[in-house]
Each structure stands twice: as structure tokens, then as C-alpha cells.
Structure 1
């Protein structure tokens, strides 16, 4: 009977496998807001915790004060004298200003400030002198370790020499000062701000001003040292150049003396002067010779028979003696003329006069002969003079050629001496300039604003820090909220199930709190509160099942399974079957979970009542052998442990039993084992019209659900939908999805819970 009924009912049965539906990737702002609302206490507690911790830390922090001084880079230099400086002024480009900032932050300059201000002995900067420990230091796990344990692990600290220890402490103080020092340059400005942070406002101002003063002093010292080094170098070079000048001048003078290159103050070499003088005298001598020879030539042309022929010569005419004799002659001639008028030629007086004339003529002729002979002598003398001068000129010329050769080398020596002399004068002038510069050095910057003692601390800015902490804590809380949402790997809504699995949600079963049950079991509460949202949720499942079967009619045999144990599958099966039986349907509940049967214990059934194993292993049975629930009219066939349930469910007897159940009941509900635990549900799925997959709200991992559904799909199970159980309606409302669970909470007036 069972076999024939089974084959009639399952002929050409096919399963309908819905496929997942893809939705557009859109950002649901309302869903994000609901996540924040749902996790608001996570966010609030995170903000409160971080704020309290921040306040505690802020009150433990030592206030720090920042003092600032300002420098201006000099773009114009005072030029007292037109003298080029040894060290040029500072540039005004970005690289030059950046270099000066590096100088201000250099350990060398900071080290000078440490020494000048005696900061090594300041406990604020020298940790070796600071024995006080703040509350925050106890938060460092290293400080929790006892010193004895540290020594046993790391050994005793080496004992350092006093000078080494002092140098190490100084280096640590320099590091501390550098860490608190801030040097900035505003854009498009030639100013540099020196800011220093300290726990004491006066100390902050003192150190900021001290570094500014040291920077200017350092610039002056650098220029002074550069000038001093230049002076020392110039002094050494001047000494060497003096020796070079003296040596070159001595060499030139010695060469001049050895080669008799005697010079006068204005006319050059004496040999040149002598040659010029001899040449000039020779020219004059030759001129005189030509003139005397010309006069002598004139005399030679005159007949020498009569001396009186020479009377017309200019030399004769110019002779004073001859001129006097001519005058005497004229006087005697006048006397003779007078006497001739009175006396005759024989008169003694006439004879005396004639004798006197004769004497005068004789004297004149004698003088004329002397003049003529003198001219001839002049020619001879002039010729001899010319000859002597020519010989002298030839000798001087030969000597001068040799001297000129020597003078070439002399000029080379003189040029070397002159070059050394000019170089010496240049270095002497530069030495005097650099010497004078030491007294007029000026820095390339000036202090335009000295640091004042700050009145208010710059750190910590409690309001700002607290605001940032609140902001960051809010972000952290929001991040934690979304992280928890992401880590919450369970299903919350039917929409999620539809998107991920492609299955429709056929119902949401609310969770019953203990205050509502008041000691009543869930399945009894269902009957006592038929108008409750819990009962209505099961009715919704049945309503959704009306047209979910493959034959487009109400499924007669329904199987409930889940992924893992504990998801409320058995409770749902029992409640669903009782409620449908209470509504007037003839319903049979079959507990097919033979691994962990619970129905008999929960309903307190008689041990002698028939169970599924005894029915399948026994003979034919009648309806009177089944347990009947008096409260609902439900027929129950409980389960019992069996070593091989798959063999039992795969046999012909179970198939015949299912056919018999279809003929005798309006609805058959099978409570089956979890899919991932055992494969019984896969075998049983081929005997039913619809499979309801039970998923515990927010608990069952999505991967487990996907794996279980995939197994059923691969075997052709008639999946009708998913039932979400144990839903916290109040929390479910916070998700804001307009499904059944949402209205169970918002429309509570419709239910009597």
C-alpha cells in the first residue's frame, strides 16, 4: 500500500531551484544610519572611554610654554668704505635662508647655548638629574620591570669615566634642546622665527633669546675668523713677496753693475748719452769742416801774387787789427794829402809820411797773411777733429751694441722685479683693508623681536586635544560599529537571504523572552496566545507556502532542516505543525532526526507510543498507534536513535510510509537533521514537496547557510524558502527593513503577546 501510493504521488516530480538575483551596487544611506543607530552604545562608550582617558592624561601632562624671537636677514649692508669684505654677505634665495635655518638648528650652535646657559645642570633637560616620575611613566611597561630583574637580564651598566659621562649628558641635553627648538621661515619673507618650548615661561624666553644672540655672535665670529685667517695668510705672502722683490732688485742691480749699464736720473744709459753727444759733436765738426773748407776754397781761388787780393775776405775785414791799421792808413793818407799841398815829394815831412804809409801797408799785408794762414790752419784742425770724433763714435757704437744686448736681460730682470713690486703693493693694500675690516664687521641678520615671557601655555591645548580625541574616538566608534557589522556573519533580514541565496524568505519567527513565557514552553505558548506575533509568524509561513510547491499548489509534505544544530528547526516544526492542526487541518509531525530526537521529551510522550523507527521496522500500522496531541489535534510520530538512518530512509518501507501519510493527512511536517551535520536531510528531501530551510537570526554563519543550500540544490531538493528563527524583534526594528519582523514590533496593537 505504501509503495503504490508513493509512486503515484511522486511521478514526474521536479524541483524548482530559484537563482540569486543581482541588484545594483548602491549606497543605502538609510542602512548606514541604522547601523550607527543600532551600534550607538558602541560609539558612545568608545567616545566616553577615550575622552576620560584623554582627560586623565591631559591633567598629568606638564604644561609647556613657547617663546619666540624673530630675526630679519639683512638684504642691504652698510658700506662704510668701498672695501670688499673677506667673507661676502649672505644670499637671499631660498637655499641661503634654508642654510641659515640649518645653522640655527645645528648641534654646534645649540651646544654653545647649552654651555653658555648652563643647561646641563637643568633637570628639565638632563634626565640624569630628574628623579621625579610622573604618573604617565607608569604606563610604560618597561618601568614595570624591577631594576634587579633588568640588571640580571641586561647586566650592570658600565661605569663610565667622569669626562665621558659628562659628555654623554651634554649630548643628551643638546638632543633635548634640539627637539624643543622650532625654526621657521614664513613664505616670501626674509624673517626667521626661533621658537622654544619649556615647562617654565621665563626659561623658554631666555633660551630663545640666547640662541638668537648666539647666532648673531656666531656670524660675527665667523667673519672675524675668516678675516683673521686672511690676514695671517696675507702677512705670510707679504713676507715672501718682500724677499722676492729684494732678491729680484739685487739681481738686476748686480747685472747692471757687472755690465756697466750706468743710468742717469733722466737720460737713460750713460753710453747712450755719450754716443748721442759724440754723434752731435761729429755733426758740428763736419759742419765746421765744410765751412772752413769752403772759406779755404775761396782763398785758394784768389791769386796769391798780391796779398792785397785777400783784403776783401770777410776774415780780413773783420780783423780788428787790420781795421785799426786801415784807420791809421787813412789818417796818414789825409796827412800826406795836406802836406802835399804844401810840400814837395822830397820834403822830409813828405818822406816821413810816405815811410809811415809804407810801414802801415807792410803791417796790413803781414796781418792779411796771418789771416789767410789761420784759415788754412782751421781747415786742418777741423779735419783732424772730424777724424777724431769719427773714431770715437765707432768705438762707442761697438761698445753700445754689447751694452744693448746686456740691457735686454737687464730689462727682463727689471720686469720681474717690477712685477714682484706691484704684487707686493697689491698684497700690502689688501692687508691694510682686511686689517681695518676687523673693527667694522657686521652680522648678516638682526633681531627685530626678542622673545617675551609667555603668559599662557602652548601645550597641551586641552580644548583642541579633547576635541580631536572626541572626533577621533567618534571615528573609531563608527569604525568599530561597521567592523562589528562586517564581522557579524549572520543573516538579519529576508532581503539579505534573497540577495545571497536567491531564495525567498517565507517567514520570520520572533524570539520569545522568558518574561513572556512565564514558565510555559514555547509550543504551549503558541496555543495559549493564538493572536500573538509568534503565532502569526507561523501562519505567515503557511501563507507563503500556499503556492511554493512545484505543482503550483499547496505543498502537502513539508520538510524543515537547517545548517547546524541549535537553530530552532525542531521548535519551528513542532510549533508549525501544532498551529496548523489547531486551525482544523489534519497534520502529522514526523521526527526524522534520529540522531538527536527531542519531541518525545519535550511533549512528555508515553514511552510505549509508536515511533518512526519501530514503525518502519515493524508491520503495518494504523492511525490509532500514533500519539495525538489533545491540545491541538496534531498526530505525532516521534523519533528514536538508529545506527543507520540513511538506510532506513532510503528503503521501500519509508517510501510506502510517506505515501500512506499523503493519503491520510492534509499536511505532513518532517523534522530532519541539519544538512551540514549529516546527509539524512538530502535523502529525505526527495520524499517531500517543499523544503523549509531554517536559519537562526544573526547567528548562523552565512557560509554555512550557503553551503547547506548548495548541497540541497545540487541534489534537486524542492527548496521553498528560508525561515529565520529566534529574531530579536526590538533589535530587528533598528535595521529598518520593512519586512514581517519590522511590523511585529511597530504594529504590536494587532497582536496579543
Structure 2
């Protein structure tokens, strides 16, 4: 049974019981809908308040327009000449694209844009120039604080600044404001950069977006021109330094060559080396000739010892014309001697003359052979002297070559240094000419593919979307609040819920009565005037349940009605149940056992001392004469009211109370005891 003064307790199912108690969790849609229906006004009011507040804020906001310009990063570089640029083109990886986004959002570039468009004098970007307060500023309480209080609370103190510092600070704030109103994004899988600028003026938004895109391209060219100019200056200085180094290195090499007499020929070799090679060749030839001549000399000496010089067939002897003529004469003399020998004897004068002529020829041949042998011996001596001389000259050249070799080590070092300086100078000269020739051919690494047009529709606020979202949020918040209130409501809305939580069989449910019923005399008056209402029928159902609640199906004789805390309607429920049962002809006694906060005397309009009270019955003194139990004229029930007691527990524990209950069971069909709240006091 429920208190009829508690308006939130109506028949239904609590959200905690919206799931089946079976093995599987099944959402009870009907229970959800019942909760929403019960709390429909909460949901409606929350949604309405959210929509109204959102509409107030949205329509107070200044419309803002977004203009977008698109840039494309060049992945292919067009070169007029095949020269390597001082600054190479942009990369196409994510890091390079992110770097360009950072460049577009850099304070340096945005600061140039602020100066070009003169945004310092624009109230939209310079808050110091704005007049009046907006709606949001008007409702912000911190804007009404004095500067001293704001400085003390937020720690923002304005330091003394010179005019230049103040202007720089103002420009910095304008740059911050512009950065907050612009975005640079890179669409996925593309090399494009999207520059979006938001402003209250659509023309201004387009102008700023296009200005930033143009400044970005101009900045790229300026960076390249500056890099080229710096490269040219640096290369020019390096070329001058390298020229001086080459000159000094060549002078040092030439001076060292002259000091060490390192004379080179056209064949890129030193004269000493060539002389050494020639002398070595001559020495080999001379030694060969010496060996050959010595061999001939030894052969001749051996022939002389053997006496066979003439018959040895010596080449010089054989080839000598004089010896050949003498040989011919000898042959002629021999032929004549042979002829004369046939006719004359050895002693013949003619024979003797021939013999003398033959001896003379032989003597001449021997003399000529001796001369040839002497010549060969002299040639051998000359060859030996030549070999000795060549060996001495070769040794001297070797010593000089060793000296030159040691000097050449330093010479080669000087030559290498000079050559390295020459190559470096040539490289820098070539690079200097390339950078000088490409000075006017620089191209930006990006291009504008779409200029920002003047936007027609405002990008903020999107009123329709915001209102729809506000409605959805309001409905969601209302539903959440409804379920929150439902979860905080710890009352019972169904017998099943009561049985599940308390493991008790409920007797029934009493419907809620309206406020008009409460104002017309209370539920106990209503149940008497409307005995056929659903409210009265609910109490009959409770009585029907009571008839079978006793042991063995017996009807209970004494029933205690209580509640958890005061004000839940136990006294009202007791009176209503008593009235409806009294109308059926049952003899009913209502006993008010709440001696701490009794209410029945005032609700029934009884005068104190006009009717018997529970205090009189439980006292050991006799009941005053002329007093009787109060009986209702319509329903016929008896009511035993009570008055306040300091120690109610003593009264209920006394034998008089037990005797009273025993006597009441005999005289009445049902005794209803209105007990104190269980959780408030221990009397019950």
C-alpha cells in the first residue's frame, strides 16, 4: 500500500526491473515506454529549454563566412636550362607537406599579411577598436570586474610599455586573432593545400585568403632569390680566395722545382731520369761489346799459343783486303813454285827466288795478322775503359736520381695541392656561372589552382544544424534526466517488484488520487463518498487478499499498518481500509498506536476528552464515566485515538496492552493498528 500524498508513485515498473529475470537479459520495451510516458513533461521541458537557450545563443551570434583558396605543390619542376638549382624543389612526403602548412601558418608570413591588409586597424581583428558589448560579453560576469580585480584574480597585469612596444603587442594580438580564424589543411592523397579564412565580412574573408596564397608564392620566390644571391656572394668570395691559393701553390711548386733543378721534358719525365735510362742502355751495350771482344781476344790468344792464327778463320783476318791480296799472291807464288819444281831442283836460282818471294808474302801476312790482333786487343782495352766510364757515370746519375726522387716527393705534394686548388677553382667558377645565369629563372614550388571566391552563405553558425542538434541533445538530456529520476525513485510500482525485493506477497495496489481529492477532505472522505470508485475497489481487493493470508486460510483478526518513514500515508491507508470494510458490515476497530506523532484526532475533528483514547485504555486508572469509543456515522467503524506519550514502549510492553488486544479480538471482526514508522522509531 502506498501514500496517497506522494504524487510520483503511480502504477508501473521501475527501470531497475526492466529486464527479465531469466537467464538471458531481454529489454522490456513496454517498460521503457511507460517510463518515458510518466516523465513526458520533464523530457518536454528539458528539450524546450535547451532549444530556446540554443536559439537565443545562435541568433545572437554574428554570422561568419569562410573563403577558401587552394594551392597545388608542384611535383614536376620546369627547367629552362639543365642546371642544378641552388634550392631544390619541395619534397612530396608528408613531412614536406606538413612543413609547408607550418610555413603558411607561420607568424612571419601571417604578420606580412596583417601589414598588407592593414588588419591592425580592423575592429574585427583588433579588439581594442570594438565598441559596445556583444550578448555573450554582456552575460559574462568577469567583463564587469575592475582591472585591478581581474589582475588579482587572473594574474594579468599590464606592464608599462613604450609606444613601439604597445604597437608590437597589438600587432601580435591581431596575428593571434587571424591565426585563430584561419586553417590550412592538406586533403588526403593529394598535393594540394587548402587555405580557409573565416570573417564576418565575406569580401574580407576572400581578400585575406587570396592575399595569404599570393604572399606564400611571393615568399617562396624571395627565399629562392635570397638563397641564390647569398650563394653568388659566397661563391665569388671563394673563387677569389681559390685564385690566390692556386697562384701561390703554383709559385711555390715552380720555385721548388728551380731550386732542386727538377727539369721536365715534354714526355712528362725528368731529364735526369731520361739520362739515367739512356746511360743504363749504353752500359748494357758496352758490356755486351766488351764481352764479345774479350771472347775474340781469348780465342786469338789461344790460336797464337797453338800457332793456328792464320788458319783460325778469324773474321777480321778473313775480311781484311790486304790479307786477301797477300793470300792471292801467296797462291800465285805457290803455283809458280809448283811449276818450277817440276823442272828445277831446290837449289836452282829460280826455285830459290820463288821460295824467297813466298817467304816474303808469308811474312807480310804474319805482320798484317799481328796488326789485326793488336787492334783487337786495343779494341778490348777501349771497350773495358768505356764500360768503366759508363759505370762511373751511371753511379753518379744514380746518386743524383736518389736526390731528385727525394725532392720529387715534395714536388708531387706541391703539384697535387696546386692541382686540387685548380680543380676546386674550376668547380667554383662553373658553379658561379650557373647560379649567375639562373638568377632570373627561379620558380615557385607551388601555384594557385583556385582563388577564394566571395562566399554567399555563412559558414557559422549553421542554425538548422545547431537547432537540430540542440533538439536532439535536449531530448537526450530529458530522457537521461527522466531515467535518472526514475532510478532515484525508490518506491514500488508493481507487486512483482515488491515481491522480488522483499520476498513478500503483496496484498494489492492503491491508485493515486488527484490534488482535488486531497483539497476536498482527503482520501478517507473520498472513499466514503465514492464507494464504487477504483480507489475503493483497490481497498476491497486488499481485504480479499487479507481473507486468505492467515494460517490455514483463516482471516487475520489484528492487522498492523506501518511505513518506513513518516509521511508515507499509513494513517490514511488505515482509515480508508477501515471505512471500506465498515461499509460491508464488518465490525472494525482502528487503533492509533503512534504515540509520538498522533494525527487521527485532528483528522477526525475530535475534541480532546470527548472520546476514549488508547492512553485511557492502557492506563491502570478506570475510564472516566460518560466517555465512549468514537464511531463513524457513515461506515460505523470505531476509532481509538491516542495522545503523546514520553515512553510508548513501556505502554506496549505492559500486560494491559496484551489484554486490550485479546479483548478486541473477541469484540471486533478486524483490528487495524496504525503503528509508528519502522525506520524512525522502535515502537512498531
User: Per the shorter chain, which TM-score range?
Assistant: 0.7 to 0.9
Does residue 632 in structure 1 map to residue 661 in structure 2?
no
Residue of structure 1 in register with 2:137 after alignment = 137
Name the CA distance, whole Å, in 2 between partners of 1:517 and 1:389. 156
Contact residue 276 and residue 397 of structure 2 kept, 8 A: no
Contact residue 275 and residue 397 of structure 1 kept, 8 A: no
Structure 1 pair 402/645, CA: closer, same or farther in 2 (3 Å)? Answer: same
Contact residue 299 and residue 310 of structure 1 kept, 8 A: no
Q: What CA deviation, in whole Å up to 9, does each residue of 1:480-526 have, x standing for no partner?
A: 22222223333333333223222333233344446457845643443
Residue of structure 1 in register with 2:479 after alignment = 478
Question: Which residue, out of 287, 299, 302, partners 2:322?
Answer: 302
Structure 1 pair 270/390, CA: closer, same or farther in 2 (3 Å)? Answer: farther
1:125-524 equivalences under 5 Å are: 125-146=125-146, 150=150, 157-265=158-266, 268-271=269-272, 302=322, 395=393, 398-399=396-397, 401-403=399-401, 405-406=403-404, 408-409=408-409, 410-513=411-514, 515-516=516-517, 519-520=520-521, 522-524=523-525
1:111-126 equivalences under 5 Å are: 111-126=111-126
Structure 1 pair 115/520, CA: closer, same or farther in 2 (3 Å)? Answer: closer
Contact residue 589 and residue 670 of structure 2 kept, 8 A: yes
Contact residue 286 and residue 382 of structure 1 kept, 8 A: no
Structure 1 pair 591/22, CA: closer, same or farther in 2 (3 Å)? Answer: farther
Structure 1 pair 137/520, CA: closer, same or farther in 2 (3 Å)? Answer: closer
Q: What CA deviation, in whole Å up to 9, does each residue of 1:589-647 have, x standing for no partner?
A: 22222223333343344624322222222359999943333333323332233332222
Q: What CA deviation, in whole Å up to 9, does each residue of 1:135-160 have, x standing for no partner?
A: 22112111233557657987974331
Residue of structure 1 in register with 2:300 after alignment = none
Question: Which residue, out of 636, 652, 670, partners 1:649?
Answer: 652
Structure 1 pair 591/287, CA: closer, same or farther in 2 (3 Å)? Answer: closer
1:622-701 equivalences under 5 Å are: 625-681=628-684
Contact residue 63 and residue 199 of structure 1 kept, 8 A: yes
Name the count of aligned residue pairs: 596
Structure 1 pair 197/419, CA: closer, same or farther in 2 (3 Å)? Answer: same
Name the CA distance, whole Å, in 2 between partners of 1:414 and 1:564. 114
Residue of structure 2 in register with 1:610 after alignment = 612
1:52-131 equivalences under 5 Å are: 52-131=52-131
SS at match of 1:302: helix
Contact residue 271 and residue 400 of structure 1 kept, 8 A: no
SS at match of 1:174: helix
Name the CA distance, whole Å, in 2 between partners of 1:672 and 1:284. 152
Name the CA distance, whole Å, in 1 between partners of 2:563 and 2:256. 127
Structure 1 pair 572/99, CA: closer, same or farther in 2 (3 Å)? Answer: same
Q: Using the TM superposition, name which of 431-440 and 155-164 deviates more.
A: 155-164
Name the CA distance, whole Å, in 2 between partners of 1:593 and 1:479. 40
Q: What CA deviation, in whole Å up to 9, does each residue of 1:334-390 have, x standing for no partner?
A: xxxxxxxxxxxxxxxxxxxxxxxxxxxxxxxxxxxxxxx9xx99x999999998999
Structure 1 pair 27/235, CA: closer, same or farther in 2 (3 Å)? Answer: same
Contact residue 282 and residue 386 of structure 1 kept, 8 A: no
1:55, distance to aligned residue in structure 2 (A):
2.2
Residue of structure 2 in register with 1:365 after alignment = none
Contact residue 547 and residue 556 of structure 2 kept, 8 A: yes
Structure 1 pair 445/525, CA: closer, same or farther in 2 (3 Å)? Answer: closer
Residue of structure 1 in register with 2:361 after alignment = none
1:206, distance to aligned residue in structure 2 (A):
1.7
SS at match of 1:508: coil
Residue of structure 1 in register with 2:307 after alignment = none
How well do the aligned residues superpose, as a CA RMSD in angstroms? 4.0
Residue of structure 1 in register with 2:560 after alignment = 559
Structure 1 pair 485/613, CA: closer, same or farther in 2 (3 Å)? Answer: same
* Structure 1 unaligned blocks of 5 or more: 1-19, 313-372, 682-753
1:296, distance to aligned residue in structure 2 (A):
9.0
The TM-score normalised by the length of structure 2 is 0.76
Residue of structure 2 in register with 1:34 after alignment = 34
Structure 1 pair 429/400, CA: closer, same or farther in 2 (3 Å)? Answer: farther
Structure 1 pair 514/155, CA: closer, same or farther in 2 (3 Å)? Answer: closer
1:169, distance to aligned residue in structure 2 (A):
1.3
Q: What CA deviation, in whole Å up to 9, does each residue of 1:27-82 have, x standing for no partner?
A: 22112122222222222222222222222222222221111111111111123333
Name the CA distance, whole Å, in 1 between partners of 2:381 and 2:571. 169
1:231, distance to aligned residue in structure 2 (A):
3.1
1:268, distance to aligned residue in structure 2 (A):
5.0
Contact residue 285 and residue 382 of structure 1 kept, 8 A: no
